[in-house]
């Protein structure tokens, strides 16, 4: 086993000979109580504090220097749109032009197709490391190996994909082991802006091969501190009513049995949505506990926000942005300079609103998820 952290080789034959390094983490490395400093931490000027951040950022930066990305990511022009939401808009022209075209997908439940592009077809150097939890973490279920690889069309610094055992050919349907790895990746980071997310098929996932996204954004987002209301007596499921879009909130204060229960609840909810051909997006971030909160509330735990939405297959040309996991959370990667200069909060909200379920169907989904979560109490 080769430990992550050593300088990786520079030539393809060396990548193949040495194999993928392992990043093995322990319970004590899952960090609680990480807060935003007064000045947002930069990833370009210094290496963030945790061992996970150091390993990811060093390997990611090296792959950028080696030219393994489709474009060289510079400092992105960023602005907060005026208004009540606090959208963080970033101009990323290269991603809009050079990202891989989405696959031909027609169903949220579509089977994996080995003939289509998948993560078994990438170059060896695109894999940064294998993410492995210590097998004796208390109260934890067995977790499959997770390969952490670069997204060759990054939307921000450190943009990676978390891919569980790619050789199994799993379709883009969320599984507990993958979600648990995503939540624990957020807990492994000492940067409050490291987030993880999932797009279902029909929710703008462009590859039908199970993967989550992880990336750094040195800005607060609206969903971190949005107030919520409980939907079930046990307080296991909450509703975020605030803009930019209503979503279902699951919350855990940190690692342990409560995190395992959260993973189970979220995956039962996404299973229901998938089985009923309802597209969805999911976002994992450090955040405030449920209830009456404010944008400045302390980030005491982990928020997992789930949005059910209209199915959208393929990229809509001509729109300022496409609505997926980061846009629903308040982060808007914009494709053109013209749209970046002219986009208003009202226009952004209109684009997002067009992707949401009609009210009657949204109420039906809410009732179904409340009934599903109520099974915990029986």
- The pLDDT of residue 3 is above 90: no
What does the mean pLDDT of the chain come to?
89
Confidence grade of residue 57 (pLDDT, cut at 50, 70, 90): very high
Q: Are strands 127-133 and 146-150 parallel, antiparallel or unpaired?
A: antiparallel
Q: What are phi and psi of 216, to 5 degrees?
A: -100, 140
Between strands 279-287 and 247-252, the pairing is: unpaired
Work out the pLDDT band at 8, boundaries 50, 70, 90. Answer: very low
Supply 362's token pair.
Answer: 């949204």
Correct CATH for 22-35+48-375 of 3.30.720.210, 3.30.160.110, 1.25.40.390, 3.30.428.70: 3.30.428.70
Condensed to tens digits (0 to 9), the pLDDT of residues 236-275 reads 999 999 999 999 999 999 888 899 999 999 999 999 999 9
d(CA 305, CA 331): 14
Mean pLDDT of 143-157: 90
| 68-113 residue pLDDT tens | 999 999 899 999 999 999 999 999 998 866 666 667 888 999 999 9
Q: Contact at 8 Å (CB) between 334 and 320?
A: yes
pLDDT at 7 over 50: no
Angle between helices 176-188 and 51-65 (to 10 degrees): 100
Block residue for tokens 């996404």: 270
Q: Determine what percent of the chain is predicted with pLDDT higher than 70.
A: 87
- Give the pLDDT of residue 314: 65
Q: With a cut of 50, say whether residue 5 has pLDDT above it.
A: no
Is residue 254 within 8 Å of 287, Cβ to Cβ?
no
Per-residue model confidence as pLDDT tens digits over 159-184: 999 999 999 999 999 999 999 999 99
Give the pairing of strands 212-216 and 88-91.
Answer: unpaired
pLDDT of the residue at 41: 62
* Catalytic (active-site) positions: 211
Predicted confidence (pLDDT) per residue in 316-360, tens digit: 667 899 999 999 999 999 999 999 999 999 999 999 999 999 999
């Amino acid at each position: 086993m080769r430990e992550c952290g050593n300088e990786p080789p520079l030539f393809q034959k060396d990548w193949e000979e040495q194999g993928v390094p392992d990043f093995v983490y322990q319970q004590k490395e899952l960090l609680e109580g990480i807060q935003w400093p007064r000045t947002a931490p930069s990833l370009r000027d210094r290496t963030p504090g945790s061992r996970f951040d150091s390993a990811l950022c060093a390997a990611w930066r090296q792959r950028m220097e080696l030219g393994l990305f489709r474009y060289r990511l510079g400092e992105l022009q960023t602005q907060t749109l005026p208004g009540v939401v606090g959208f963080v808009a970033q101009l990323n022209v290269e991603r809009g032009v050079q990202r891989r075209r989405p696959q031909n997908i027609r169903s949220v439940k579509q089977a994996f197709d080995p003939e289509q592009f998948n993560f078994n077809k990438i170059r060896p150097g695109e894999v940064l490391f294998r993410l492995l939890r210590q097998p004796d973490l208390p109260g934890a279920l067995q977790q499959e190996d997770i390969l952490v690889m670069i997204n060759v069309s990054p939307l921000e610094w450190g943009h990676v994909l978390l891919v569980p055992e790619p050789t199994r050919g799993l379709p883009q349907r969320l599984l507990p082991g993958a979600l648990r790895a995503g939540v624990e990746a957020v807990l492994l980071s000492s940067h409050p802006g490291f987030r993880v997310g999932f797009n279902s098929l029909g929710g703008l996932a462009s590859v039908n091969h199970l993967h989550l996204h992880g990336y750094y954004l040195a800005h607060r987002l609206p969903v971190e501190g949005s107030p919520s209301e409980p939907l079930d007596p046990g307080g296991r499921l909450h509703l975020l009513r605030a803009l930019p879009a209503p979503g279902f909130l699951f919350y855990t204060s940190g690692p342990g049995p409560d995190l395992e229960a959260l993973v189970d609840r979220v995956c039962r909810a996404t299973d229901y949505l998938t089985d009923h051909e309802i597209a969805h997006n999911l976002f994992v971030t450090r955040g405030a506990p449920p209830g009456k909160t404010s944008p400045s509330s302390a980030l005491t735990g982990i928020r997992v926000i789930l949005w059910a939405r209209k199915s959208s297959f393929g990229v809509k040309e001509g729109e300022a942005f496409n609505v997926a996991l980061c846009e629903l959370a308040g982060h808007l990667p914009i494709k053109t300079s013209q749209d970046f200069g002219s986009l208003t909060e009202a226009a952004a909200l209109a684009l997002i609103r067009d992707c949401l379920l009609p009210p009657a169907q949204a109420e039906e989904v809410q009732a179904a998820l409340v009934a599903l979560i109520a099974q915990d109490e029986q």
